[in-house]
C-alpha cells in the first residue's frame, strides 16, 4: 500500500485531518498540500472557497485546485471547472471549464458528467449536442446523482437527445425526488395529478419558488387539498419574494380581487353607469 515511509505518514495525517475541527483540519491540509498531496490540495482549496477554518479566498482556492488538477485529481478538476465557469478566482472561461469537466467526467466523476452534459445541452464552451448531453446525464444518473436523474428525466419528457418517453421521465423524477431533490419533486408532481400537492409541498418546504407557485394554485383550485385563499396568498408571497414573475402576477391578482371586493358597486371598473 505504501511506497515510502513518507507516504504512510501523509496517509495517517490525512485521516486525522478528516475528523479534525475546521481550524485544525486547515492546518493539516496546509502541511499536506505543501508536500504535494493532491487530495489535501483539493480539500484545502474547498476550505478557502467556503471560508472553513481559514479566511475565504477565491484566488487561493483556485490555485490549490489547479495544483491538484494537474496531478489528475478528478474532484479538483471538477472544482476548478466550476471556478472557470463562474469566473471565481480566475477569469471566466466556458471552454476551459468544459475541458476540465471532461477530464473529471472521464474518471467517472458524476458531478462533472452532469455539468459537462449541461454544457452540451446549452452549447456552453462546446458545440451544442443534445444526444451527448443525454448520454452524460445517463452516466451520472446511473451513479445515483439526483441532479442528473432530473436532467435525464427532462430529456425523456421532451424527447431531447432521446426518444420521448413520459413513463421513463416519471421514473427518473421519482428516483431524484426520493433523494429530496426539490426540482424533481416539482416535476414529479406535474406528472401525477393526485400526488401533485403532496410533492409540491415537499419541494416548497425546501424553498423552491416554482413549487410554491404550483402549491398555491392547488390551494386556489382545491386540487388535492382543501381550498384555502389565505394559504394561496402566503405561498404566492413566498415565491414572489424570490423574484418568481408568475407568482408576483398571481399575488397581484389576489390583491386586486381583495381590493375589488371592498369597493362599492359604483367604484368598480366594470359597474354599470
pLDDT in tens, 54-107: 899 999 999 999 999 999 999 999 999 999 999 999 999 999 999 999 999 999
Select, from the ranges 14-18, 57-61, 229-233, 269-273, the one with the highest average predicted confidence (pLDDT).
57-61
Whether the predicted pLDDT of 193 surpasses 70? no
- Taking all residues of the chain, what is their mean pLDDT, rounded to a whole number? 87
Whether the predicted pLDDT of 13 surpasses 90? no
Looking at residue 260, its pLDDT comes to 57
CATH of domain 108-179: 1.25.40.10
Looking at residue 2, its pLDDT comes to 29
Same CATH fold, 108-179 and 1-107? Answer: yes
Looking at residue 4, its pLDDT comes to 38
Question: Among the listed ranges 20-34, 37-51, 192-206, 213-227, which one has the minimum average pLDDT value?
Answer: 20-34
- Work out the widest C-alpha separation in the chain, in whole angstroms: 96
Looking at residue 226, its pLDDT comes to 85
Looking at residue 9, its pLDDT comes to 53
Looking at residue 218, its pLDDT comes to 87
198-210 mean pLDDT: 91
CA–CA dist 51, 108 (Å, integer): 28
Looking at residue 15, its pLDDT comes to 65
The pTM of this model reads: 0.73
Going by C-alpha positions, the residue among 137, 135, 139 that lies closest to residue 150 is: 137
More confident residue, 75 or 6: 75
38-61 mean pLDDT: 91
Whether the predicted pLDDT of 119 surpasses 90? yes
Whether the predicted pLDDT of 272 surpasses 90? no
Q: What's the pLDDT band for 191 if we cut at 50, 70, 90?
A: confident
Q: What's the pLDDT band for 153 if we cut at 50, 70, 90?
A: very high
Could you state, in order of their start, the residue ranges of all structural domains in the chain? 1-107, 108-179, 200-261
User: Is 1-107 assigned to CATH 3.40.50.10740?
Assistant: no
Amino acid at each position: 500500500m505504501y511506497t515510502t515511509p513518507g507516504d504512510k505518514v501523509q496517509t495517517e495525517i490525512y485521516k486525522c485531518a478528516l475528523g479534525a475541527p475546521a481550524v485544525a483540519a486547515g492546518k493539516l491540509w496546509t502541511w499536506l498540500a505543501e508536500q504535494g498531496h493532491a487530495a489535501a490540495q483539493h480539500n484545502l482549496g474547498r476550505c478557502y472557497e467556503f471560508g472553513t477554518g481559514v479566511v475565504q479566498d477565491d484566488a487561493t482556492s483556485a490555485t490549490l485546485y489547479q495544483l491538484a488538477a494537474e496531478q489528475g485529481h478528478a474532484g479538483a478538476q471538477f472544482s476548478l471547472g466550476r471556478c472557470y465557469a463562474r469566473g471565481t478566482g480566475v477569469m471566466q472561461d466556458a471552454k476551459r471549464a468544459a475541458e476540465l469537466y471532461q477530464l473529471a467526467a472521464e474518471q467517472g466523476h458524476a458531478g462533472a458528467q452532469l455539468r459537462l452534459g449541461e454544457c452540451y445541452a446549452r452549447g456552453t464552451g462546446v458545440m451544442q449536442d443534445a444526444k451527448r448531453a443525454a448520454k452524460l446525464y445517463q452516466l451520472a444518473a446511473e451513479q445515483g446523482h439526483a441532479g442528473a436523474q432530473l436532467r435525464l428525466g427532462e430529456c425523456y419528457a421532451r424527447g431531447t437527445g432521446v426518444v420521448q418517453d413520459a413513463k421513463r421521465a416519471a421514473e427518473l423524477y421519482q428516483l431524484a425526488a426520493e433523494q429530496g431533490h426539490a426540482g424533481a419533486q416539482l416535476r414529479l408532481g406535474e406528472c401525477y395529478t393526485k400526488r401533485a400537492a403532496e410533492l409540491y409541498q415537499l419541494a416548497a418546504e425546501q424553498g423552491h419558488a416554482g413549487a410554491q407557485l404550483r402549491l398555491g394554485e392547488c390551494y386556489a383550485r382545491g386540487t388535492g387539498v382543501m381550498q384555502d385563499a389565505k394559504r394561496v396568498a402566503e405561498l404566492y408571497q413566498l415565491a414572489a419574494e424570490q423574484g418568481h414573475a408568475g407568482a408576483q402576477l398571481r399575488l397581484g391578482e389576489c390583491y386586486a380581487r381583495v381590493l375589488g371586493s371592498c369597493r362599492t358597486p359604483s367604484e368598480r371598473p366594470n359597474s354599470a353607469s
